[in-house]
Structure 1
Amino acid sequence: MQNGLSVDVEDWFQVGAFERTIDRADWPALEGRVEANCDAVLQLFADAGAKGTFFTLGWVAERYPALIRRIVDAGHELASHGYDHQRVFAMTADGFAADLKKTRAILEDLGGVAIRGYRAPSFSIDTRTPWAHPVLAEQGYAYSSSVAPVVHDHYGWPQSPRHAWRPVAGSDLVEWPVTTARFAGRTLAAGGGGFMRLLPYRFTRWAIARMNEEGHPAILYFHPWEIDPGQPRVADAPIRSKLRHYSGLSAMAGKLRKLLADFEWTRADALLPAQQDRARPWRAAA
């Protein structure tokens, strides 16, 4: 079974762990490493013959237009990650709509392709944003991968479905959550990112195999900075943020190589028709 491979394209200073430590106004003065790290990711994918989806910040695209063209020219899907990593639940509906429109215009102009997919920064679509999916549907997005059906201190909508679902009546929009696993009556985050860095590789492999056994493709995500152990250290960040961000960086590239070899991977949009066919409506209880 083919699985969905995705990359959240953001730089090391744009992450949720540092949002209260590094001011957005200081971003332009910081060392940019996202282009070199994305090129390393592109090479990993090329070596494995894999295609993926690059959920990209508009802020990054504006500064590295040649990178956007390399992503598209290599046959990968270009999708939206919002403009500057603002969490959706921190916006209004109008602000969210403007963020989507602005980012899509940037990506489509630079990439020369239609933008059909969206992933919210830090999986920030949840019970606080009942307007988010309708706004995505109104703007014609085909799918979102923005809900984490888990309990987490930064995000999560634990009551939501683990598999693709339809959040807006009368719309073809699909919400496709990143991979989770059921164990001992609990839903465990298993879709990549920090969980992949911190936990043994065999857990990620088990979770993806389990998802495939259930008859569903997995969808994995990671960030370019996660394969960059040499990135700058934020000295005044909280200890918890440092542990969350820096742990396991040196092992991540090796884990990705194993994963690329152990499973079949493709773009999220290549798997979307099957997800649309299987997705069923779901609404949170009032």
Structure 2
Amino acid sequence: MSGTAPAAPLNAMSIDVEDWFQVQNYAGLIPRARWDSLPRRVEERTREVLDLFARAGIRATFFTLGWVAERHPGLIRDIVAAGHELASHGYGHERVFEIGADRFREDIRRAKHLLEQAGGVAVTGYRAPTFSVNPTATPWAHAVLAEAGYRYSSSIFPGPRAGGPVPLQPWRPHPDGVVELPMTALRLGPACLPVSGGGPFRATPHPLFAALLRRVNAEGRRGIFYFHPWEIDPDQPRVPGLSATKRLRHFLGLRRMAPRLARLLGDFAWAPVEAVFAPELAAPAPARAA
């Protein structure tokens, strides 16, 4: 019997491009006023990510801070030149539910301008710092993103931080807003198990994580994976005063992260967010109510 084997399910690979000192764990320890005085490591680590992707032959989405683009425009140009999708992580890594609609509008417009200026391409994707968008606390966020010229958001993490039950599939939280592509999770009874990357990926044995992602694909869903450049940087500075819990969460598995990523890239088929979810992004927005 002959025939063509079915293509492997396509999942979305993404990177949240921010420097080590911009992580929310350090928000109470490193004032923003000190950021420019600290050693920057984001460009070198992000170039390592670019090399990792080049060896694996994949393209991804780089959700990048406007703050980083402003200081490292050459890095932004190289991300685009390598064929990756350039997207926005906002400007200053401020949580959306803390800054309100007006400052949010200013933040995302500033980031979009800086990224497009550096990269020479349209920026239409957005991810909120620390997944700080949810329908309860920020019901205006998706409409504000649409006003600013974005097409989609990948900013909601199903589970407690979402402020209540949310769909696991792409959806439009606001009738006049952008499409939301929620981070990948599995519902197991009342629990919502993250299958998206970051700290949970570093804490989960690779065979188990791969099995969970395969289950997501078996349900007919496409996964979205994410990580940060600082997660492949085990020698980053240590900051005094970090609690034991936050220190464990931040540094757990950093030395194993790069080889584990390389293995993950080989185990699944990957593409940028905008390519994986092209059908949802091409669908017209619902008509405004009269």
| TM-score with structure 2 setting the length | 0.92
Matched, 1:149 2:155: no
- What is the alpha-carbon distance in structure 2 between the residues aligned to residue 167 and residue 36 of structure 1? 37
Match of 2:72 among 59, 64, 85: 64
**Counterpart of 1:167 in structure 2: which amino acid?**
P
Q: CA distance change for structure 1 residues 114 and 30 in 2, over 3 Å: closer, same or farther? A: same
- What is the alpha-carbon distance in structure 2 between the residues aligned to residue 201 and residue 278 of structure 1? 35
Match of 1:55 among 63, 70, 75: 63
- What is the alpha-carbon distance in structure 2 between the residues aligned to residue 136 and residue 69 of structure 1? 24
Report the alpha carbon displacement of residue 189 of structure 1 after superposing the two structures with TM: 1.2
Matched, 1:166 2:175: no
- What is the alpha-carbon distance in structure 1 between the residues aligned to residue 244 and residue 222 of structure 2? 36
Q: Which moved more, 1:100-109 or 1:233-242?
A: 233-242
Q: CA distance change for structure 1 residues 170 and 125 in 2, over 3 Å: closer, same or farther? A: closer
Q: CA distance change for structure 1 residues 253 and 158 in 2, over 3 Å: closer, same or farther? A: farther
- Note the 1:34-49 alignment, pairs <5 A: 34-49=42-57
Matched, 1:94 2:102: yes
Per-residue CA shift, 1:44-82, capped at 9, x if unaligned?
A: 100000100000001111111110011000000000000
Match of 1:229 in 2: 234
Q: CA distance change for structure 1 residues 202 and 246 in 2, over 3 Å: closer, same or farther? A: same
Match of 1:80 in 2: 88
**Counterpart of 1:141 in structure 2: which amino acid?**
Y
- Note the 1:189-228 alignment, pairs <5 A: 189-228=194-233
Matched, 1:32 2:40: yes
Match of 1:245 among 243, 250, 261: 250
- 8 A contact 2:139–2:174 mirrored in 1: no
Larger radius of gyration: 2
Q: CA distance change for structure 1 residues 129 and 143 in 2, over 3 Å: closer, same or farther? A: same
Match of 1:138 among 139, 144, 147: 147
SS in 1 for 2:16: strand
Per-residue CA shift, 1:183-235, capped at 9, x if unaligned?
A: 24421112000111111112321221111111111000000000111111112
| TM-score with structure 1 setting the length | 0.93
Unpaired runs of 5+ residues, structure 2, are 1-8
- What is the alpha-carbon distance in structure 1 between the residues aligned to residue 277 and residue 35 of structure 2? 35
Q: CA distance change for structure 1 residues 158 and 263 in 2, over 3 Å: closer, same or farther? A: farther
- What is the alpha-carbon distance in structure 2 between the residues aligned to residue 207 and residue 275 of structure 1? 24
Match of 2:3 in 1: none
SS in 1 for 2:21: coil
- Percent identity for Structure 1 against Structure 2: 50
- What is the alpha-carbon distance in structure 1 between the residues aligned to residue 285 and residue 88 of structure 2? 24
Match of 1:270 in 2: 275
Match of 1:7 in 2: 15
- What is the alpha-carbon distance in structure 2 between the residues aligned to residue 279 and residue 159 of structure 1? 25
- What is the alpha-carbon distance in structure 1 between the residues aligned to residue 19 and residue 206 of structure 2? 24
Report the alpha carbon displacement of residue 137 of structure 1 after superposing the two structures with TM: 1.6
